[in-house]
Amino acid sequence: MKVLVTGATGFVGRHVVQALLARGCEVRAVARNAETAADLSWINAVEFIAADIHAPTLNIQALTDGVDAVVHLAWPGLPNYQALFHFEHNLMADYRFIKGAVEAGISQVLVTGTCFEYGLQSGPLSEQTAPQPINPYGLAKNTLRVFLQNLQQVQPFTLQWARLFYLHGEGQNPNSLLAALDRAIDAGDDSFNMSAGEQLRDYLAIETAAGYLAAILQQRKFDGVINCASGQPISVRALVEQRLQARGSSIRLNLGHYPYPTHEPMAFWGVTDRLQQLLGAEHEA
């Protein structure tokens, strides 16, 4: 199976490329910056193309030639979830790219969505939960999904829409919670500022998530929305305390320093029944 991966040098992309190679896939990796790609461990194991998939002059036919599936991960402008850029630019640019790929003969596309498509709904969130996005990022992603589902009616193709929850690991945004905590520990800080930490979230190691995405892609008959999550809610405080224990750190947690974010509910996590069923089917195959 030959797979085109967009956003290949990003936080998710670099791990997905590794997971696909581990499964014996051929990978054509696409990203804007060749210098970033040159530093990645897999660079000599893939066909790398430096390109901006949003460029109006992009030759999509040539880019997708000989490819069986597209894993579309590229999405500029994160982690600013409130930027209008997400639907003013990314939404239509992404739609044009994916439509072009389908018209060029690609029959399977996996796109990463987001838990922010669910908006402020609390508790366990399943794929049957109606999306109610409240920020520009969630709105743009959810709208792209709707556009692509409409495209399927005209130009049939398999659309695998994987909603990512909270990922952590190598290459994550330096301002994300665990990355900031690691930096504070490494700097020898006495204390670490955070919220009260009682909010429940669904956290997943990036290597595990990348493995899930690769597994979903190889279940070629699966079409639809799927949560890419742990299914296990954990409080932010417990997550931080686990990391402190793993690192043998006694840094003091300054709980309540930051208010709770207004763009997220206090408690939500992904229902992973569909994911587990798919993974189970893979092991039976």
For residue 193, being part of any structural domain is answered with no
For residue 177, being part of any structural domain is answered with no
For residue 190, being part of any structural domain is answered with no
Please, is 3 exposed, middle or buried when counting C-beta atoms within 10 Å of its C-beta (0-12, 13-18, 19+)?
Answer: buried
Q: What is the pLDDT of residue 264?
A: 85
Higher per-residue confidence, 225 vs 264: 225
Rounded CA separation 222/202 (Å): 24
Query: Could you give the number of structural domains in the chain?
Result: 1
For residue 72, being part of any structural domain is answered with yes
For residue 243, being part of any structural domain is answered with no
Rounded CA separation 46/145 (Å): 28
Q: What is the pLDDT of residue 285?
A: 58
List phi, psi (to 5°) of 253: -90, 120
Polymer length of the chain = 285
Residues forming beta bridges with residue 167, ordered by sequence position: 204
For residue 181, being part of any structural domain is answered with no
Rounded CA separation 9/171 (Å): 9
Residues forming beta bridges with residue 155, ordered by sequence position: none
CB neighbourhood size of 281 (10 A): 13
Q: Could you read off the pLDDT of 143-180 as tens digits, one per residue?
A: 999 999 999 999 999 999 999 999 999 988 888 899 99
Q: What is the pLDDT of residue 227?
A: 98
For residue 81, being part of any structural domain is answered with yes
Residues forming beta bridges with residue 204, ordered by sequence position: 167
Rounded CA separation 283/21 (Å): 18
Q: Could you read off the pLDDT of 118-152 as tens digits, one per residue?
A: 999 999 999 999 999 999 999 999 999 999 999 99
What are the counts of helices (DSSP H) followed by strands (DSSP E) for the chain? Answer: 10, 14
Evaluated on CA atoms 99, 104, 108, 113, the torsion sign reads negative
For residue 20, being part of any structural domain is answered with yes
Percent of the chain with pLDDT over 90: 92
Give me the domain span that covers residue 87.
Answer: 2-167+203-230+269-284
What stretches of the chain show up as alpha helix (H) in DSSP?
A: 11-22, 34-38, 60-64, 85, 91-103, 136-154, 177-186, 206-218, 236-247, 273-284
- The domain that contains 83 carries what CATH number? 3.40.50.720
* pTM as predicted: 0.95
What average pLDDT does the chain have?
A: 95
Q: Could you read off the pLDDT of 180-204 as tens digits, one per residue?
A: 999 999 999 999 999 999 999 999 9
- Residue 100 gets the label, from left (phi > 0), alpha (psi -120 to 50) or beta, of alpha
Q: Could you read off the pLDDT of 70-117 as tens digits, one per residue?
A: 999 999 988 889 999 999 999 999 999 999 999 999 999 999 999 999
Taking 90 as the threshold, does the pLDDT of residue 242 lie above it? yes
